[in-house]
Structure 1
Amino acid sequence: MISVGIDVSKGKSTVCLLKPYGEIICKPFEVQHTEKDLEELANLLQKLDGEIKMVMEATGIYHLPILTFLLEEGFFISVINPFMMKRFARDNSLRGAKNDRLDSVMIASYGIEKWHKLKKYEVNDGIYPELRFLGRQYHRFMQTHVKHVQELTHLLDHTAPGLKAMFNSWNEHSNRDKLSDFVERFWHFDLITSLSREEFVEQYLLWAKEKKYHQSRSKAEKIYDVRRLHNGHALVALAGIDPPPYESGQFVGTHRKISKRGSPILRKIGFEVMRMLKSHKEPEDNAVYNYILKKEAEGKNKKLAKIAGLNKFLRIYYARVMEVYR
């Protein structure tokens, strides 16, 4: 009765030979997944007296070379679920130490304790492993695909919010995605904003004709009008200095704290700008400066007055920037 614990790694395995009552036949040793080393392991096992059962964890594809070779040699091999091995190790190790040698001993101990419950690994027909392998490859491909789509969506939400909603999703009949084709052509938002409205509309219609999409002048004009923020309130919300509404029935809360749900970097830099503005003499463009003084005169503490000044500054900034696009 000999339990052979095999801790599988990439390209090699650590093997431990164990008898009942914890008697180790030989210290754990490494076996490379080469024909020479595997043949030496098989010769060693064939020289042993007594029934031999091998135990290893399922490791995706890493265990397949040594598993296949030993099965061809006619050995009894049980491939166990790693979760079961993890629970067994947790119940039989107080310190929780872990390395390849200790793991091989633990796997061999599992074989001794579960000797009569071990199930021999059965080789499936070739079609089933291939289908399982292809299924896993497809799953990984879809994970990568979805990740790239999400990254594209995040970039579009950052540079041109609302653009994604203007295009239909994947077309199963043509096997094409209109949004992806559009982004491939107009890969940077400057390629849109650097053109006049009429120039962009003409280029959009030409692109739609080449790709055999519906040529919509109104959609091209909507795309051209897409902006990062739709009004000054949105810019204030981006900084996270907007007090969220709090209403219930006829009650309307007025003394509200800022949300702090926006960009902490923008909020921090904006506050530092207000602090530096207040620490210098009155500038020529004094609207924000005087607004901070007004809030302090109303009894607001200096910090709240600066936040109010930042709120006003962002609204003025938004209005002046948007004048460029009108």
Structure 2
Amino acid sequence: MKRGKMMEFVVALDVSMGKSYSVIYQDQRCLYEEEISHNQLGFQQLFDHIQTLPGSVTVVFEATGIYSKPVESFCQRNALRYCILNPLEAKKQLELGTLRSWKTDKHDAHLLAQSHSLHRREEKRTQSAIYQNLRDFSRFYQEIEEEIKRMRMYLHNALQLSFPELEQFFSSRVTPYALSLMELFPHPDLVLDSSITKIKNQLILHTSKNISQNRAKQKAVEIMSYAHSSYPSVPPESVQTQKVRYYARQLLHLLEEKERVAKELIEEAKNLPEFELFLSVPGIGEISAALVMGELGDLSRFSNHKKVNAFVGIDIRRYQSGKYHGQDHINERGNPKGRKILYIIIRNMIRQQKAAPNHIVDYYYKLKKQPTPKKDKVAVVACMNKLIKCMYSMAWNHTKYDYSHAVSMDQ
């Protein structure tokens, strides 16, 4: 007697803030539908229904940022198989074969379940906790960097009205020393009301880094000179002057947080074998290695490097209709933060090319010098592709970077 085929069930959820509309399907037949809250009672209610199903269960839902995280956590904690759909992918799948002239939570949940058998949806492979934690640290670090950029713009705008000459103290980057100075003297009148000796003593007292007497006096003379030549647009008691002090303090705090998070990020990354492997690539430092590990995660969950490309969003999208062949573009449907980090790494490699031989830099100049030179951005993206292939091979084979081996593989 032949054994019967195992029954398969699909649990589809249309996720929104704090709740989901859930349906359970067997083939094209709906067995259950109800709205659940993202709390213990709601998830337990859904799990009780799932436990009654006499077969294999797959949960399907669309990625909606932070709102879909509780659903993913529910699946992981209960060891449920699940598929997370990229929003663009979900839109395309749901529109296939339907006019979709309206959108409701109920309608989308049913369509997700009904269309599941029509598509080869890959199940999400859960990474170990250390990769999840590393990604959170990486995102936190990047959020702080974005906040620093925003605060620096606000500080620049306020300084242009109160004491623009102070920006000469941080022409290339914001430093704790320059910010301490701005907080103390946000307006030239405050400098002119003081003396070089008093300014020198305040710099020594309030600057976090050790500064010598001679260095402090030199800076005091500079700021006094700036104050004499400055022509501020606002008085010292203005709101703009207060804003300079406020944004300087905020930036000082953000720089401290950035340094703290960077240390924790790197310490976490050191627990994984890929860290030392990626550090061996010329142009990749500790923070870059930790950040890219946080965004790419466990590379062993990908069967080949092309799937990593698709995950990041630098796989090629082609358009062809009849005899027309459109220009190739990268997909850009993947991980934008991962793309940004890889782009910065390639730029760092090009800048530091004299430090050590690097086959990726060689490839960049090959693309730039061929009979039909590639545009800079196109060449950089091609190098990102090559870097992913290199890192994927290193992670799978547990080998450090070897320039001669990399060159021989390219030939």
Q: One fold, TM greater than 0.5?
A: yes
Greater C-alpha Rg: 1
Equivalent residues of 1:90, 1:96 under 8 A apart: no
Matched position secondary structure for 2:108: helix
Q: Corresponding residue for 1:112?
A: 117
Change (3 A) 1:221 1:92: farther
* Cα pair distance change 1:101/1:207, threshold 3 Å: same
CA apart distance, 1:105: 2.4
Residues 207 and 169 (structure 1 numbering): CA distance in 2 closer, same or farther, change over 3 Å?
A: farther
1:144 alignment counterpart: 147
Kept in 1: contact 2:162–2:232 (CA 8 A): yes
Compute the displacement of 1:180 (Å): 0.9
**Among residues 6, 10, 13, which one is paired with 1:3 in the alignment?**
10
The change in CA–CA distance for 1:167 and 1:128 in structure 2 (over 3 A counts) is: closer
CA distance in 2, matches of 1:102, 1:53: 19
The 2-side partners of 1:57 and 1:139 are apart by 25
In the superposition, the TM-score normalised over structure 2's length comes to 0.46
Instruction: Measure the CA separation in 1 of the matches of 2:170 and 2:39.
Output: 54
- 2:97 and 2:122 map into 1 onto residues whose CA distance is 22
What 5-or-longer segments of structure 2 have no aligned partner? 1-7, 234-411
1:34 maps to which of 18, 39, 47: 39
Aligned residues: CA RMSD: 3.0
Secondary structure, in 3 states, of the residue corresponding to 2:140? helix
Higher-helix-fraction structure? 2
- The equivalences for 1:59-98 within 5 A come to 59-91=64-96, 94=99, 96-98=101-103
Q: Is the 8 A contact 1:4 1:111 kept in 2?
A: no
CA gap of 1:199–1:80, structure 2 versus 1, over 3 A, is same
Alignment-mate amino acid for residue 185 of structure 1: L
Q: Would the aligned equivalents of 1:169 and 1:177 in 2 still touch at CA under 8 Å?
A: no
Amino acid at match of 1:4: V
Distance 2:198 2:228 in 1: 12
Q: Are residues 1:204 and 2:203 paired?
A: no
Query: Is the counterpart of residue 135 in structure 1 residue 138 in structure 2?
Result: yes
How many residue pairs were aligned? 217
Match of 1:165 among 153, 165, 168: 168
Instruction: Supply the AA of the counterpart residue of 1:52.
Output: V
Cα deviation for residue 92 of structure 1 reads 5.1
* Structure 2 counterpart of 1:225, from 224, 229, 232: 229
Aligned equivalent of 1:215, options 217, 221, 227: 217
Judged with a 3 Å threshold, the aligned counterparts in structure 2 of structure 1 residues 106 and 223 are, in CA distance, closer, same or farther, namely farther
Q: State the Cα deviation string for residues 1-59 of structure 1 (Å, max 9, x = none).
A: 433211223332221223545x43344x2112233332221221233355432211233
Q: Residue 154 of structure 2 aligns to which amino acid in structure 1?
A: E
- SS of the aligned residue for 1:163 comes to helix
| Structure 1 SS opposite 2:142 | helix
Residues 123-152 of structure 1: per-residue CA shift (max 9 Å, x gap): 211110110111111111211122111110
Change (3 A) 1:76 1:218: closer
Decide whether the 8 Å contact of 2:15 with 2:21 is kept in 1. yes
Matched to 1:135, the amino acid is S
CA deviation string 1:237-288 (max 9, x = no partner): xxxxxxxxxxxxxxxxxxxxxxxxxxxxxxxxxxxxxxxxxxxxxxxxxxxx
Q: Match of 1:103, as an amino acid?
A: D
1:202 CA drift (Å): 4.6
- Alpha-carbon distance between aligned partners in 1 of 2:223 and 2:184, rounded to the nearest angstrom: 16
- What amino acid maps onto 1:9 in structure 2? S
Percentage of pairs with the same residue: 21
Equivalent position of 1:301 in the other structure: none
The aligned residue for residue 189 of structure 2 is 193
The correspondence of residues 255-294 of structure 1 with structure 2, limited to 5 A, is: none
> Aligned pair in 2 of structure 1 residues 122, 224: CA closer, same or farther (>3 Å)?
same
Q: How far is the alpha carbon of 1:185 from its aligned partner? A: 1.0
Partners of 1:19 and 1:112 within 8 A in 2: no
Could you tell me how far 1:198 is from its partner in structure 2?
A: 7.1
- Note closer, same or farther for the CA distance 1:166–1:137 as it changes in structure 2 (3 Å cut): closer
TM-score by length of structure 1 reads 0.57
Q: Secondary structure at the match of 2:122?
A: coil
Compared CA separation, residues 95 and 223, structure 1 to 2 (3 A): farther
